[in-house]
Amino acid sequence: MIVSKQEFLTSSGIEARTLEFWIEQQWLIPARTDAETAFSDTDVARARLIRDLKSDFGVNDEGVDVILHLVDQLHGLRRALKQLHKDIHGPLR
Amino acid sequence: MRNPYEVLGIASTASSADIQKAYRKLAKKLHPDLNPGDKAAEEKFKEVAGAYDLLGDAEKRKRFDAGEIDASGAERPPQHFYRDFATSDEGHPYTDNSGFADFMETDDAFAELLRRGQRARANRRGEDLHYRLPIEFVESIAGANKRLTLPDGGTLDVKIPPGLVDGQVLRLKGKGATGAGEGVPGDALIEVEVLPDHRFTRDGDNILLELPISLSEAVLGGRIRVPTPTGVVTVSVPKASNTGTTLRLKGKGAPRRGGGSGDELVKLKVVLPKSPDPELEAFVSNWTKGKEFNPREGNPS
């Protein structure tokens, strides 16, 4: 599902300025159409992770940067592993 | 749900700073997004987060300690974590393959498998897009050309084949989302909803229609005009037709798959003039045979 910026702010409880900063840092890369910024389910879930890291775990901005970079690599590896498994054994259930 | 103090592993006398410390320590270890492959982590994390929702809030903690609320109120609703999306086959801009880029540079079978997987993702087929299209009953029988306006402002021309049924899904090849790289676009899947019609109903390949006729048409017969989904036709009503008499218009029903068509079944309904008519009343009072006829004869009383 795709949500607009306004719906995204309402559902995530994040302030507009905070969101702009996250996009600036490329922690979030929402799709852009001509006038609107469109957020996917993936963006919304990722924003929730960033919010947990910052408000619940007390991670600072530098820390978020490092964690997201490692998490992205981890998921890249997981995908590659999943694909390999598929290539060798047929699709996972 | 367990006692929230136990869940966080603290004494009931712990300070709010201790509670936060205990929560952070556990949550950092258990957060599902930091444990993407560990299914059990999510359950444990939810328990810890629920306990912290309760004890981390001074007001709620006070009420819990006083026995006013129990821990069950602290259970968290199910939530989708980032990990539920991050490894999906659909591409997203956060993919990072630098964690194994070095493995792909070699020349062996393992590197080839990795490279193949990456190419498959780079040339991914576009997604199928789902739409709903309401059409008139008449259009479902006779066929039609419709234009669907898409959420992004674009349009899609849809050819409704004659004889389509409610809920049927039309597939427009290649009209879905664009693919990535050399991947082909997906398809548009259009679920067609046939709107109810105030005259016609459908029964398989046949079309049913109830048609009012006058008393004189019923008694004397005559030629009447009958609507069909493909236009009006003239039909002879035989002498002495009755309410319930059904005329079959061959081939005026829904087209059949593989040639031919069903029929239109016209059920007649005799309707008397709206306002009382003195002439009709005088005739019926003097009509001996009509009075002798009992349509309920033989019915159990």
CATH no. for residue B237? 2.60.260.20
> Residues with Cβ < 8 Å from A25, sequence gap 6 or more?
A61, A64, A65
Quick one: which of B193, B196, B197, B259 has its CA closest to B228? Answer: B197
Tell me the CA distances in angstroms from B203 to A8, B151, B208, B226, B263, one per residue in order. Answer: 47, 34, 7, 18, 10
Place of tokens 């929402």: A30
Which residues partner with B249 through β-bridges? B264
Last residue of a domain, one of B194, B216, B242: B194
Q: Is the pLDDT of residue A91 over 60?
A: no
In chain B, how many domains are there?
4
Place of tokens 């002439």: B279
Confidence of residue B77 (pLDDT cuts 50, 70, 90): low
Residues of chain A with C-beta less than 8 angstroms from the C-beta of B86: 42, 46, 71-72, 75, 78
- Same domain, yes or no: B40 and B75: yes
Confidence of residue B75 (pLDDT cuts 50, 70, 90): low
**Owning domain of residue B259:** 200-277
Choose, out of A79, A81, A93, the residue to mutate when testing the contact with B (most B CBs < 10 Å).
Answer: A79
Residue B111: CB atoms within 10 A of its CB come to 15
Please report the ipTM that was assigned to this predicted complex. 0.80
Residue of chain B with shortest Cα separation from A42:
B85
A82 touches chain B (CB under 8 A): yes
Q: Is the CB of residue B187 less than 8 Å from the CB of residue B172?
A: yes
- Same domain, yes or no: B156 and B179: yes
pLDDT in tens, B258-277: 888 999 999 999 999 888 88
**Owning domain of residue A40:** 3-89
A46 touches chain B (CB under 8 A): yes
Q: In what order do the strands lie in the sheet with B264-271?
A: B200-203, B206-214, B264-271, B246-249
**Rounded Cα–Cα distance for residues A3 and B244 (Å):** 55
Q: Is the pLDDT of residue A87 over 80?
A: no
- Same domain, yes or no: B53 and B109: no
Quick one: which of B13, B3, B91 has its CA closest to B54? Answer: B3
CB contact under 8 A, A72 and B95: yes
Q: Is the pLDDT of residue B236 over 90?
A: yes
Q: Is the pLDDT of residue B221 over 80?
A: yes
- Same domain, yes or no: B105 and B168: no
Residues of chain B with C-beta less than 8 angstroms from the C-beta of A78: 36-37, 86-87
Q: Nearest CA to CA, how far is A39 from chain B (Å)?
A: 11
CB contact under 8 A, B86 and A42: yes
pLDDT in tens, B99-147: 787 887 778 877 887 777 777 667 777 778 888 899 999 999 989 999 8
> b/e string for B64-89 if b means 16 or more Cβ within 10 A?
beeeeeebeebeeeeeebbbbbbbee
pLDDT in tens, B193-219: 999 999 999 999 999 999 999 999 999
CB contact under 8 A, A71 and B121: no
Instruction: Please give the average per-residue pLDDT across B247-260, as a whole number.
Output: 90
pLDDT confidence of residue A90: 64
Last residue of a domain, one of B122, B139, B172: B122
**Rounded Cα–Cα distance for residues B156 and B131 (Å):** 10
- Tally C-beta pairs within 8 A across A and B: 96
Residue A25: give its domain's CATH number. 1.10.1660.10
Tell me the CA distances in angstroms from B220 to B81, B167, B241, B266, B285, one per residue in order. Answer: 77, 43, 8, 18, 20
- Same domain, yes or no: B73 and B96: no
Confidence of residue B28 (pLDDT cuts 50, 70, 90): confident
B286 within some domain: no
Nearest CB among A33, A49, A58 relative to B24 is that of A58
- Same domain, yes or no: B68 and B93: no
- Same domain, yes or no: B11 and B77: yes
pLDDT confidence of residue B297: 82
Choose, out of B81, B87, B127, B130, the residue to mutate when testing the contact with A (most A CBs < 10 Å).
Answer: B87
3-state secondary structure chain A: CCEEHHHHHHHHCCCHHHHHHHHHCCCCCCEECCCCEEECHHHHHHHHHHHHHHHHCCCCHHHHHHHHHHHHHHHHHHHHHHHHHHHHHCCCC
Quick one: which of B54, B86, B56, B50 has its CA closest to B68? Answer: B54
Nearest CB among A52, A77, A86 relative to B99 is that of A77
CB contact under 8 A, A42 and B98: no
Q: Are strands B129-135 and B188-194 parallel, antiparallel or unpaired?
A: parallel
CB contact under 8 A, A41 and B113: no
Pick the residue with more confidence: A87 or B240? Answer: B240
48-77 in chain A: CB under 8 A from chain B: 48-49, 52, 56-58, 67, 69, 71-77
The single-letter code of the amino acid at B205 is: D
**Rounded Cα–Cα distance for residues B202 and B197 (Å):** 10
pLDDT confidence of residue A70: 92
Across A34-38, A60-64, B187-191, least confident range: A34-38
Instruction: Please give the average per-residue pLDDT across A36-43, as a whole number.
Output: 81
- Same domain, yes or no: B99 and B27: no
CB contact under 8 A, A75 and B34: no
pLDDT confidence of residue A93: 47
B298 within some domain: no
Q: Nearest CA to CA, how far is A16 from chain B (Å)?
A: 21
Mean pLDDT of chain B: 86
- Same domain, yes or no: B18 and B80: yes
Tell me the CA distances in angstroms from B8 to B16, B33, B47, one per residue in order. Answer: 12, 20, 9
B53 within some domain: yes
Say if residue B298 is exposed, middle or buried (CB neighbours under 10 Å; 0-12, 13-18, 19+): exposed
B230 within some domain: yes
In chain A, how many domains are there?
1
B301 within some domain: no
